[in-house]
Structure 1
Amino acid sequence: MALLPMRLAPMRLLLAAALLVSCAPALTQHPPTKPMPSVPDTFLRDYAETRRFMSGRPLAARITPDEKTVLFLRGQPRAPIQTLFAFDVASGEAREVLTPESILNGAEETLSPEEKARRERMRVSARGFTSYQLSEDGSNILVPLSGKLYLVERASGKSLELKTGAGVVDPRFSPDGKHVAYVRDNDVYRLELASNTERRVTKGGTPLLTHGLAEFVAQEEMRRYSGWWWSPDARFIAYTESDTSGVEKLSLIDVMHPERGADTPAYPRPGKENAKVRLGVIPVGGGNTVWVKWDAQAYPYLATVVWPKKGPLTLLVQNRTQTEQKLLAVDPANGTTRELLTEKDDAWLELDQSFPQWLEDGSGFLWYTERNGGPEVELRGADGALTRSLVKPEAGLREFVRYVEKEGALYFNGGPNPSESYLWRVKDGGAPEQVRPGTTGEAVETGTVSKSGALLLFTHSSPTSMPRTYVARADGSRVGELPSVAVEPPFTPRVEFRELGPLMFQSSLVRPRDAKPGEKLPVIVEVYAGPTVTVVHKSMAPHLLSQWMADQGFLIARFDGRGTPLRGAQWQRAVHLDFSAVTLEDQASAVHALAAAVPEVDEARVGIEGWSFGGYMAALAALKRPDVFKAAVSGAPVVDWLDYDTHYTERYLGLPQQHPEAYEKSSLLTYARAEDKPISPLLLIHGTADDNVYFFHTLKLSDALFRAGKYHELLPLSGLTHMVPDPLVTQRQYEWVMGHFKRHLQR
C-alpha cells in the first residue's frame, strides 16, 4: 500500500521557513498565543539521529540453505550505513563479512534515478547495503552498491566487481547460480559469472517503454517491485513491457533549486489512463519475445507473476476496479493461457504477493482468499480445483512464512488479536499452534523458517522491550541472538491498552510519566484509520515518541476503527465508496468511550495528528468535527482523491465516472470551501518533493481555506519526499507539532 505513516528516507535539503497562510477576516479566529519551544530536546534529537532507536538493530536476516549460518544487515547506532554480517549457528558468534567502505574505497555512494524511485516505493531509506541476494546453493552473495554489483564468495570472503554498466536495478541470481540478471537503461541484461561478461537480453527499452521495471502502481500499491523473472531452468526470462506514453505526467521540482528543472514522472490519476503492461518471454541469449495472451482490456492490471520450479509460469490479473481477478497458467512456448481460478468481491479484492505458492512437485498450489469473510489459505490442485482450507479466516493470518511440505506444516505470522502478532504453525489444516521460543506475555512477534523447518528466526518486541532477533531450533530451544548495537531508549513508555465502546475498538493510551491521578489533561489522537494500516500495537517502539509528547502534559491516544485491517473483510470494507464517514465517526466515538473509561481525559481539549492517510483524517477532523477535535496537525494529506493514484483510490472509491459522489464526499475541499462551517486550528505539513502524495494536495487545501476565510498554518519541508529522515528536520517538525497543540489545547 502507498499511504503510510511517516518513515525514514533519503533527503537533500534542510527545513524551510514556516509559511503562515491567513486571510484578514479570520486573523482573530486562531491567532498564536504561546511561543514556539526553543530549548533543545535531548530525547527528540536522539530519537531522530538513531532513526527511532532502530538503527543498529539486525534486519534482513536470512538462513543459508545448509542452515549453518544466518546472514543479516546492520547499520550503525547513529548512521544508516548498513554492512553485512554472518551469525554462526554452531558457535553463536557473529562477524562482519563485508562493508561498503571496503568496496568503494572511500568513494561516495551514488544511485540512479530508477533506483532512487524504487527505494522510495519500498520505503527504503538506509544507505550502504540495503539488500543482498544469496545463490540457491548458498555459496555466493550478490550485493548491489552505488549502482554497481559485487559478487562475494562466502568461503573465502573475496569480493569481485561485476562488469556491468552503471545504474543496475533489481539484480538477481539465476536458479543455477551461473548468471545474474538485472535492469539497466530500461532493458534487461544478463551477466555470465564465469567470464564476467554482460549481454543485453531485451532491446528497445526507453523511459516511456520500459522493459523489466515494475510500473508505478505495481510498486506503490500492488507490492510487486520487480518486472522480470527467471525461468526455473535459467534458459528464459519473463519480463514486463510498460508503456507510459499515454499516462499523465506530473511535474516535480526542487523548489530550492529551480535551476535544476523539473522531473515529469508518469502518475496515473483516478479515471485516467494507466500504464499499458504486457508480459513477454525471451531466451536469455536474446531473440524473439513471445507475448503472453490474456484479455488485457477486461483485466488491465498484471498484479502477480511467479515462475516456480515445478508448475507453470503463473499470472494474476485484475480488472480496473479490482472486483474480479483471474489466476492464469501460461504456455511460454506460444503465450497462450488457461484459467486456474476466478475471484470476485462486490467491494474489492486484497492482494498478497506470497500467493500463489506452488508445491515443490507442481501438484498444486496454496491460494489466498477472503471469500469466507477473512484471510484464508487454501490448498488447490494443479488445475485450480479446491482441495481443502489450511488456514481458516478466524486464525488471523497476516503474513505467510513457509509451507514445509514434508511435515504438512504451514507457518504464518499474525493471530486473532489485531494489536498482537505471533508465529503460528498449522498442520494439515488443523488448529493453529503458537510457536514462541522462550518468550512470554503480550507482544508483537514475527518469525521466519528455514526450508526444512529445522531452524527459526524470531523477532520479539513488547510494550516494555525493543525488537530483538533470536535464532532457535524447531523445538523452541534457542541457539543465540543476532547482536544489536542500537542505542536503547532512555525510558519505557507508560502505555495502556483497551477495547472501547460497543464495537470494541482497539486502543492505546500513553500518560505522562509524572501524571497525577484524577488530573484532567488534554488529549492528542495519533491517527491513521486507513484501510491498510493499524496503529495499536503491543510493542515499545511505536510509543516512544508518544511518551515524549505525553510528558509535555498530554494524554496520547490511538484507535483502530472500521476500515482498518485485521478484523475481517466486512470491518475493513466499511469504507467502500466513502472515506469520510465511518472512519471519522469511529475516531470521535472512541474519544467519547475513552473519556467514559479514563477520568483524566478532558473532552473539551482533544487534538488529532497524522501523516498521509492519517494526515487526511486529521484535516478531515478539523474541518468536519471541530466540536470534538479542537486542534489538528495534518502531514502530507491526500486532499482530493481525484489527485491520488488509480490502483489505490479506485479500489476503495470506484471509478470517478461511475461514483462521482464518492469522490465528492471524500474530498477535503468539499468541507474547506463551506464558508459557514468553522474549522479547528490546523497546521499543514508537507514535503515539497513528495512523489506519492504531491505537494499540490496541501496547496489546494490551503488555497481553499484561504478563499473561505479560514485561518491555518502551512509548514513546507523543502526538498523532502513522503518520508522525513533528516534528524534536524525531524526534531524541528515535532517541535512545531507540539508547539501547535500547546498553544491551542493547554490552559
Structure 2
Amino acid sequence: MRILLVALALLSFPVLAQSKPAAPAPQPPKPDTSFLQIMEAQFFRSGHPRSTNFTPDAKTVFFLRNAPNTHVQSLFAFDVATGQTREFLTPEALLKGAEETLSAEEKARRERTRTRTRGFSFYAWSEDGEKLLVALSGKLYVVASASGKVTELKTGPGAITPTFSLDGTQVAYVRDNDVYRVDLATNTERRVTTGGTPEKTHGLAEFIAQEEMYRFSGYWWSPDAKALAYTESDTSGVEKLTLVDASNPEQGAQQLSYPRAGKANARVRLGVIPVTGGKTTWVSWDAEKYPYLATVTWPKNGPLTLLVQNRTQTEELLLAADVKTGRTRTLHVEKDEAWLNLDQTFPSWLEDGSGFLWYTERSGAPEVELRDSSGKLVRSLVPPEAGFQQLVGYVEKEDTLYFLGGPHTPERYLWRVQRGGKPTRVTTGGPAMEAGKMSRQGEAFIVSSEGPTSLRHTVVMKADGSRVGDIPSLAKPPPFQPRLEVRQVGKEGFWTSLVRPRNAKPGVKLPVIVEIYAGPGTTMVRQNLVEHLLSQWMADQGFLVVKLDGRGTLLKASPKDRKPKYVFAEALLEEQVAALRALAQVVPELDLNRVGITGGSHGGYMSALAVLKRPDVFKAAVAVSAVADWRDYDTHLTERFLGLPQEHPEAYEQSSLLTHVKAGSPMGKLLLIHGTADDNVFFTHALKLSDALFRAGQPHEFLPLSGMTHMVFDPAINERLWARTVGFFKEHL
C-alpha cells in the first residue's frame, strides 16, 4: 500500500527540471460500428430491387424496393424500351397516414417465408396485364395498369394469400379459415367455402406444407374461373404443444398443432367447388399410403394435377384428377431408396397441354425431363452432369430450356439447352451467383448477379445475351470487402471458403471458427460478398473463419453420399472434419488445436454435436436454436432423414444430442442460445439439452433470447448475440 502511495505521489507532482510539453491525452478507440451497419442494411441488400417480374407483354419490369434507411417497400416500374424507372405505388399512398398492421395469420406466414420487410411484400398481375393486385395491412387493392387508378376491395378484415382468376375478373383469398372471392365488376365479396375453423382450415397450407414442402398456397383457380380447388387441413388429431413465452407471462399460453416425428400429421384432402359455392367434389387417392399432398397445379391447358408422397418420402405419385368425379389417374411414379427432394416448380405443364417438365434425381443428380400428357418419357432436357438448380423457363416453339446452375456448386449462372443439345451459358464473367427470370415468351430476361467483390447487380437482357438496361439499386456499399478465398481441397474435392483478418500476417497461426449449417444437400460455400460480411467481422477479431461443404453437395457424389439415410448427422460431421483437415494441408495458418464451430437451426444442432462427439477437433461451440432431440422436431423433415422412430429407434437415439451427453466424458466448451418464443425449434430443445448437461456435471453456458422466434431480426439484439459469440470463442480458443 505504501509503495502505491509513493507512486501516486510521483505521478501527481512531476519533477519540474524534467518537465516537457504535455502529451495529448490518449483518445478512446472508436467504437466498431460495422456490425450494426451490416444488420441495419440487411447485409447491404437493403435498397436492392426485389420481386422483379415482367408484365405479360414484357414491356415493363415491376419490382419492390426500399430506401436503405427503412424496411418499407414500395412498387416501382422499369420501362424496357427507355430504361427509365418510376415509382408506381407507395404504402403511404394507400394507408393515408395510418399505421400498417398485420394479422396473426399474416405474421405466421411471414415467419414461414422468412420475410422481414414491411410495406408491400406481394403483388401479382392479371393474366391480361390490365390489373395489378397488392396486399397491405390486411387489405387488398387492385390497380389499373393503364390509368393507375386504385380500388380497395371490399373484403372483410384479415384477407391473406390473394390471387387473380385467370380471366382477371375475380380475386380469391382466405379469411376466417375459409376461401372467399370478390367480383371485380361489382366489388362484392362472396364466401366460397363454409365451415372452416382453426382446426379444420379451408384454403390454407398447413404448417408442414409451408415449413418443409415450400407449398404456401392452399387453393387454386380453374382455368375457366368457374371453380376453385382447395385443401381442407384437419389438425384435430395433431398433438398440441404449448408455447409459453416466460418473459411475457401476461400473454398467456399459445396452443399449436405441431406434428412431432412419428406422431399424427394433419389430415389433408383436396376438393373442387364452384365459385358460387355449393357441393365440394373431393379428389380421391390412397391417402393412407400417400398422406402428403406436396404439390398442386391447375394449368391453363391440362388437368388438375397433384403430387402425393408416402410418409417416408421414398415414393410419390403424380396424379391427374377428374374434377367432375374426383377420380384420379397416375401419370408418373417416382421412387428413391433414401428420400425424394421436392421442387415446387414441377410438374411444369406446357402451354398447349401436350406434356410437362419433370424433375428427377433417378440418375444420381438433378435432371429435367420432358414427358407427354400421359406421363410417358419423351427425352431428357437437362442432363445430370449439368448441375441443374432451378428452372427459369421453357420456350416451347424453340424447344429451349433456361435454368440456373452449373458444374461448380459455389457458383451459379444462367444456362440454356437448345433442342436437347449441350448446356451453354447465356451470361459471361464470374465467379458469381446469378438469379434469373424469363418473360412469358422468352424474348427477355431479368438477371441478378453478385460476386465475391461486388454487390447484387440486376440487368434486363435479351435472349441473345445483349443488354437492355440496369434496374437501379439504392443499396449502400459495405464499409469493407471480405478477404474471401474459395478452393477445393482433398482427394474428395471438398469445396471450402476461408476469410482471413484484414491485418493477417502470412505464416502466423490463428484460431479457427467453422460456420456450419450442413443439412443434407445444402451448400455453404458461395462466391458471394454479402454472405461473408459477418465472417469478415468475426475474422477481424483474430480468427480464420471457414465454411466447408461435404460430399453430399457435390454433383458427382454417389447417392449414398448425397443422401446418408439414418446416419446423416454422423456422416455430415465426419465430412466437416475431413474437409477441415484437408484445408489445413494447404493453409498452414489454420491452428487445428484451436477450432470453434457455430451455426443456427440445423447448424446449431451440428455445432453442439461437434463438441459432444468430436471434442478432439472442436474445442468450443456456440449452438443457436439447436434441435436437441429429433423426436421433438416435425415429421416431414425428420422422417425424410431418419425414417419413422417406431421403425428406426436406433437412428433417433444416435442422432439425439441427449444421447451423447455423458458424465465424465470429454467435451468441448458449449454456449447454447435460443429464442423463448421459437415456434419452429421449440425453446424446450434448449431446456432439455441444458438439463441433461447439468445432470451429467458438464459445464456449459445458456443464453435465452427473450421473446425471440426462430428468426432474430432486431439489429441491436443481433449485435449483442454475435458479440457474445465472438467473446466466447476468444475466451476458449
Q: Under a length normalisation based on structure 1, what TM-score does the superposition of the two structures give?
A: 0.93
Inter-partner Cα distance in structure 2 for 1:190 and 1:723: 33
Residue number in structure 2 paired with 1:594: 583
- 1:482 equivalenced with 2:474 (yes/no): no
What's the offset of the Cα at 1:196? 0.5
What's the offset of the Cα at 1:155? 1.4
Q: Deviations over 1:113-144 (max 9, x none)?
A: 11111111111111110111111111111001
Residue number among 65, 80, 83 corresponding to 1:89 in the alignment:
80
Inter-partner Cα distance in structure 2 for 1:737 and 1:259: 31
Residue number among 489, 492, 495 corresponding to 2:484 in the alignment:
495
Residue number among 550, 558, 562 corresponding to 2:551 in the alignment:
562
Residue number in structure 2 paired with 1:178: 169
- 1:194 equivalenced with 2:170 (yes/no): no
Whether the 8 Å CA contact 2:501–2:539 is kept in 1: the answer is yes
Residue number in structure 2 paired with 1:389: 380
Residue number in structure 1 paired with 2:40: 49
- 1:228 equivalenced with 2:219 (yes/no): yes
Residue number in structure 1 paired with 2:343: 352
Residue number in structure 2 paired with 1:620: 609
- 1:659 equivalenced with 2:645 (yes/no): no
Whether the 8 Å CA contact 1:143–1:150 is kept in 2: the answer is yes
Residue number in structure 1 paired with 2:156: 165
Residue number in structure 2 paired with 1:292: 283
Inter-partner Cα distance in structure 2 for 1:280 and 1:363: 25
Q: Pairwise mapping of residues 1-400 of structure 1 onto structure 2 (< 5 A)? A: 40-400=31-391
- 1:408 equivalenced with 2:412 (yes/no): no
Residue number in structure 1 paired with 2:693: 705
Whether the 8 Å CA contact 2:404–2:435 is kept in 1: the answer is yes
Q: 1:532 to 1:82 in 2, by over 3 A?
A: farther
Residue number among 423, 439, 445 corresponding to 1:456 in the alignment:
445
Residue identity matched to 2:141? Y
Residue number in structure 2 paired with 1:607: 596
- 1:684 equivalenced with 2:681 (yes/no): no
Inter-partner Cα distance in structure 1 for 2:253 and 2:74: 34
SS of equivalent to 1:309: coil
Whether the 8 Å CA contact 2:426–2:464 is kept in 1: the answer is no
RMSD of aligned Cα (Å)? 1.3
Inter-partner Cα distance in structure 2 for 1:121 and 1:272: 21
Residue identity matched to 1:511? R
Residue number in structure 2 paired with 1:733: 721
Residue identity matched to 1:220? E
Q: 1:131 to 1:569 in 2, by over 3 A?
A: farther
**Higher radius of gyration, 1 or 2:** 2
- 1:675 equivalenced with 2:695 (yes/no): no
Residue identity matched to 1:588? V
Q: 1:38 to 1:117 in 2, by over 3 A?
A: farther
What's the offset of the Cα at 1:108? 1.4
Whether the 8 Å CA contact 1:418–1:567 is kept in 2: the answer is no
- 1:645 equivalenced with 2:634 (yes/no): yes
Identity %: 63
Residue number in structure 2 paired with 1:523: 512
Inter-partner Cα distance in structure 2 for 1:103 and 1:739: 46
Q: Which has the higher contact order (CA 8 A, sep 6+)?
A: 1
Residue identity matched to 2:732? H
SS of equivalent to 2:241: coil
SS of equivalent to 1:534: coil
SS of equivalent to 1:533: coil
Q: Under a length normalisation based on structure 2, what TM-score does the superposition of the two structures give?
A: 0.95
Whether the 8 Å CA contact 1:347–1:573 is kept in 2: the answer is no
What's the offset of the Cα at 1:97? 0.8
Q: Deviations over 1:243-295 (max 9, x none)?
A: 00000111112322211112111100011000000000000011100000101
What's the offset of the Cα at 1:50? 0.9
Whether the 8 Å CA contact 1:398–1:566 is kept in 2: the answer is no
SS of equivalent to 1:109: coil
Whether the 8 Å CA contact 2:178–2:203 is kept in 1: the answer is yes
Residue identity matched to 2:274? P
Whether the 8 Å CA contact 2:409–2:553 is kept in 1: the answer is no
Inter-partner Cα distance in structure 2 for 1:254 and 1:138: 46
Q: 1:565 to 1:528 in 2, by over 3 A?
A: farther
Q: Deviations over 1:647-703 (max 9, x none)?
A: 00001100000000000000000112x112122111111111111111111111111
What is the number of residues matched between the two proteins? 706
Q: Deviations over 1:374-399 (max 9, x none)?
A: 11111111111111111111111111
SS of equivalent to 2:603: helix
Residue number in structure 1 paired with 2:564: 575
Q: 1:78 to 1:304 in 2, by over 3 A?
A: same
Q: Deviations over 1:212-237 (max 9, x none)?
A: 00011000111110000000000000
Whether the 8 Å CA contact 2:303–2:321 is kept in 1: the answer is yes
What's the offset of the Cα at 1:528? 0.9
SS of equivalent to 1:581: helix
SS of equivalent to 1:250: strand
User: Any stretches of 5+ residues in structure 1 without a counterpart?
Assistant: 1-36
Inter-partner Cα distance in structure 2 for 1:265 and 1:93: 48
What's the offset of the Cα at 1:571? 5.7
Residue identity matched to 1:735? A
Residue number in structure 1 paired with 2:712: 724
SS of equivalent to 2:39: helix
What's the offset of the Cα at 1:169? 1.2
Q: Deviations over 1:533-576 (max 9, x none)?
A: 21100111111111111111110100011344755561654421
Runs of 4 or more above 2 Å deviation: 37-41, 253-256, 562-569, 571-575
What's the offset of the Cα at 1:459? 0.4
Q: Deviations over 1:174-201 (max 9, x none)?
A: 0000000000000000100111100000
